[in-house]
Structure 1
Amino acid sequence: MPTSTGTGCAGIVTGQARFGLALLLMCLLAAPAARADNTLFRIFTENYPPYNVSETGKNFAHKREDIGGICTEMVEALMANTPYKYEMKMRDWSFAYRWVQEHKNHALFCTARTDDREDQFQWVGPLASIRWTLFAAPDSNIKLKSLEDAKDMKIAGYKGDVMTDYLLKKGFNVTASVTDEQNPRRLVLGQVDLWVTDGLVGPLVAKENGDIAGLRPVLVFRETPMYLAVSNQTDPALVAKLQAGLDKAREDGTIDAIKERYGIGD
């Protein structure tokens, strides 16, 4: 009897142990699938300080650590709240704009969200806002009461920029360069009358490209929110998680802290 009883108890314990081990293995196998997500986002931007800044001084970057700026930090914050991996690169804007549209799990920041662009992307944001500003040279006596006052003036812009495209469609005389870098110099040399760019970007670009100071903001004619623009080929469920990641960063104060650090408001 004792032997029989002992053998029976051992069999029960062994059966329970086997069941428990099997259950543990099932949990271990299931856990990584619940925690991990191998989705890789490829995120592009341009050199557009202070929103997106090349830390190397070049207009391109291959690594996330070589890119800084207001929007860059915001995108990093939202991605930290998602299960996704990502790469970040800096490229020419017109190239990146087209490339992102053609590939799934690709995104572009900071992209102004306008009616013309609405159907071209899925949108995550808002991140920051740009102020559409017309600058004149420091010694210029130009005064503008409205945008129409600039109708007959020569305006510098750059290719693919939302402000430049807007003025071109409205029939303004805009010469678009590949980048914004030479436009402050064109302005002070009298080659153009005005330069259209963001109110924060203008003085920084002028300082970094020719040590030009004192440009006059003569008209702010629009303000537009900027977003992370995600390709339409991307699964909307993934985009929803990106938005949730940004919302969390906003709710926990991370976004406000970034704005405060750069001295910008809503």
Structure 2
Amino acid sequence: MPMLTSTSRKILNGVKTGLLSLVLSGFAASTTADDRLYIFTEKYPPYNDTVSGKAFAHGENDITGICSDMVKAALARLDYDYVMKMRAWSYAYNWVQERENHGLFCTARTDERESQFQWVGPLASIKWTLFAAPDSDISLNSLDDAKDLQIAGYKGDVMSDYLIDKGFNVLTAVSGDVNTRRLMLGQADLWVTDGLVGPLVAKEEHGITGLKPVLVFRETPMYLAFSNSTDPTIVAAFQRALDEARKAGELDRIENNYRQ
């Protein structure tokens, strides 16, 4: 091997230093990316909605609603780098479960889902409601009375999945706002959705008022659900932050603002 001159040594050392810096900077960048939280939601007014009115959003500034503001109240007490996005529910639900540092809200916490996530909450609660068209004469005394009826639902939604598992006739759609039209066109006898969501979507999306709440058959608290591969210390920190926001009265104020 030929001997290196002092100039050559300086150049070689500079190259080594530069390579080491690139490796370290690349490691730092990947660490930052790994530590970032990705929090997803769906369009489900008044719990989650977009300022733009679109069904998707790429940042928190375009996301609003009862649960959204509650999650933001917790985030304001934490020092995490995060991204908040709005996507279709079925897509986000599957995406979040398989990835570290990913969360999803508002997610109904049920026995069937208990082991699938780590839970932060509760946020708000949903009332599982069967709606009929304004001119419908359907009357139900119990859920079993709807066994022979066609029910419009939302694909991947906890209420729709519950009814499907119980053997009800549920016609699901990727977008929940089409279910109002199904009622009005006679393609479905009932629509299963939350007690606040149904009338709001019908009015804002289709200008339809007077939906009939035929039966409220369950009430479920909603949560921010983190994937099981997310660091439990992050989940615990979120729970403390949410508890602090609740103790300060922020969560009650948020909910009251939307229910007025």
TM-score where L is the length of structure 2: 0.86
Residue 117 (1) aligns with residue 117 (2): no
Among candidates 187, 190, 193, match of residue 191 of structure 1: 187
Please state whether the residue corresponding to 1:127 is helix, strand or coil. coil
For 2:254 and 2:52, the matched residues in 1 are separated by 21
Residue 58 of structure 1 and its aligned partner are, at CA, apart by: 1.1
For 2:259 and 2:52, the matched residues in 1 are separated by 23
Matched with 1:145 is: 141
- Kindly report which structure 2 residues correspond to 1:1-266, keeping only aligned pairs within 5 A, or say none: 39-263=35-259
* Residue identity in the other structure for 2:136: S
TM-score where L is the length of structure 1: 0.84
Question: What fraction of aligned residue pairs are identical, expressed as a percent?
Answer: 66
- Is the contact between residue 182 and residue 209 of structure 1 (CA under 8 Å) also seen in structure 2? no
- Can you list the C-alpha shifts for 1:206-227, whole angstroms capped at 9, x where unaligned? 1122211100000000000000
Residue 80 of structure 1 and its aligned partner are, at CA, apart by: 1.0
- Can you list the C-alpha shifts for 1:56-96, whole angstroms capped at 9, x where unaligned? 11111001111100000000001111121211000000000
* Residue identity in the other structure for 2:161: D
Residue 263 of structure 1 and its aligned partner are, at CA, apart by: 2.3
For 2:45 and 2:61, the matched residues in 1 are separated by 16
- Can you list the C-alpha shifts for 1:220-257, whole angstroms capped at 9, x where unaligned? 00000000000100011111001001001011111111
Any runs of at least 4 consecutive aligned residues in structure 1 with deviations exceeding 3 A, and if so which? none
Structure 2 regions of 5+ residues with no counterpart? Answer: 1-31
Structure 1 regions of 5+ residues with no counterpart? Answer: 1-36
Residue 185 of structure 1 and its aligned partner are, at CA, apart by: 0.8
- Can you list the C-alpha shifts for 1:181-222, whole angstroms capped at 9, x where unaligned? 110011011111000000000011111222111000000000
Larger Rg: 1 or 2? 1
Please give the root-mean-square deviation of Cα atoms over the aligned residues, in Å: 1.2
- Can you list the C-alpha shifts for 1:6-59, whole angstroms capped at 9, x where unaligned? xxxxxxxxxxxxxxxxxxxxxxxxxxxxxxx99321100000000000111111
